Amino acid sequence: MRPAALLVGLCIAVAFGSGASATTRSDDTGLKTLPGLEPPELTVTHPARGTAPGYVFVAEKYGSNHLGGPVIADDRGRVVWYHQLPTGIEATDFRTQTYRGKPVLTWWQGLISIAGIGRGVDEIYDSSYRKIRELHAGNGLQADLHEFELTPRGTAYITAYEEVPADLSKVGGPSKGYVLDSVVQELDIATGKVVFEWHSLDHVPLSDSKEANHEPALHATKKRPLDYFHVNSVTDGPDHTILISARNTSTIYLLARDGHIVWRIGTARSDFRPASAVRMHYQHDARLHSGNLLSFFDNGGIPREEPYSRPTVLKLDFKTRTAKIVRTFVSPKRIASPFEGNLQLLPDGGAFVGWGGFRRVTEFGPGGKVRFELKLPFGDSYRGYRLPWHGDPGGRPSVAVADRKVYASWNGKLGIARWQVLAGANQQHLRVTATYPWQGIETAMWLPVGAQTVAVRALNALGAVLGTSSLLSG
């Protein structure tokens, strides 16, 4: 067999981040350079025009016959970094945050029930894509999927749910029923210790729930408890307070550190008016901003109580306890997201919206015009973000040969503009035989005829060499 034919007949992959090599069959699933890794194929439905700086961050959930995981992508939908999770494990709330003054990647991962409750852990990875912390809920609970928010104090807010027996007769249910208590915890990241804990049942009555006197309250059991509150976001408020959002009361709450409710805004006994401004239905992702602005993602259903979802910004007047709608970012498609979702306000006055149960993320300009949209192939993303990132995996590119092609990848390496194929009779006689544009997490290139030794080289937009793979020899 000719040496070139030997190269074609094998897929020889150099492992990411190491000098070791492995030989695999060319029919392996997933990427040729990283066998078994199957990144989602993202589709740009509205080409990027004038977008804010940064990359797109989504956590692709598990789909039928597809694995999921955190994804960083560019404006053309090309995957820059992908962290695939095991079968059945899902990720949510993937984004960049700051820990000890340095940028990190964070997300939740675990199992998600049909009722939308998560049981898992919260992850922190450094800018080299290496895990540096894994946080668990305290006091015998399990971390829920809805929030993982780092604070400047070296702590993190998480959510959890606790199933407890309760008398539900006042909301139309059994006297010996079961309810889900929504729990907010603040954890010290370094030690994992709980430094703050809040329980919805201690402060919000069952009667405030939109589920009161309806199913599942009427027949709540231990197997199917009443999820009366459903906390879904937690973040710092002003003067050491905490802002939380509860889906099933359709209300946003500001909490004091002793746990009492400072004010509430929304459907359940709102302290702000008028009703036309503060009315919300099953909202997510409440955030306070400078200028007394409050943003949230107003789902509108399920059940459908508004014709479409309205990512909304309110201007709050704390003296008069009034609110005014100052911005909404409504999709021209009039997207009605049944659950989940987020609204990220961008520095230039635009916004990035994750549509939750509707598999899209959209970027709006300051005037509300769509300037980018991306569709996910399966599952959903819970939240989506536009964020700057400067990660570097280190090591060197990965290279493989299969089906008369050379494959190159460098998972998480930013700034690659082109790949060069280096080929020759041996290491001493390598030359550049072709140059190809970078096509995402893996780029396929034609194998030069008669090549006996092959490598790939990554270049940036200015032509500078970022790194060169190990050599493959026939």
What the chain holds in terms of domains, given with CATH numbers, is 3-36+406-473 (2.60.40), 48-387 (2.120.10.80)
CA dist 182 and 118 (Å) reads 12
Give the pLDDT of residue 81: 98
pLDDT digits (tens, 9 = 90+) for 21-57: 332 233 456 899 999 999 999 999 999 999 999 999 9
pLDDT digits (tens, 9 = 90+) for 297-324: 999 988 889 999 999 999 999 999 999 9
Contact call for residues 300 and 281 (beta carbons, < 8 A) = yes
**Whether the predicted model's global pTM rises above the 0.75 cut:** yes
pLDDT digits (tens, 9 = 90+) for 324-335: 999 999 999 999
- Indicate if the pLDDT at residue 402 is higher than 60: yes
Q: b or e along 354-388 (b: 16 or more beta carbons within 10 Å of the residue's beta carbon)?
A: bbbbbbbbbbbbeeeebbbbbebeebbbbbbbbbe
CA dist 265 and 247 (Å) reads 12
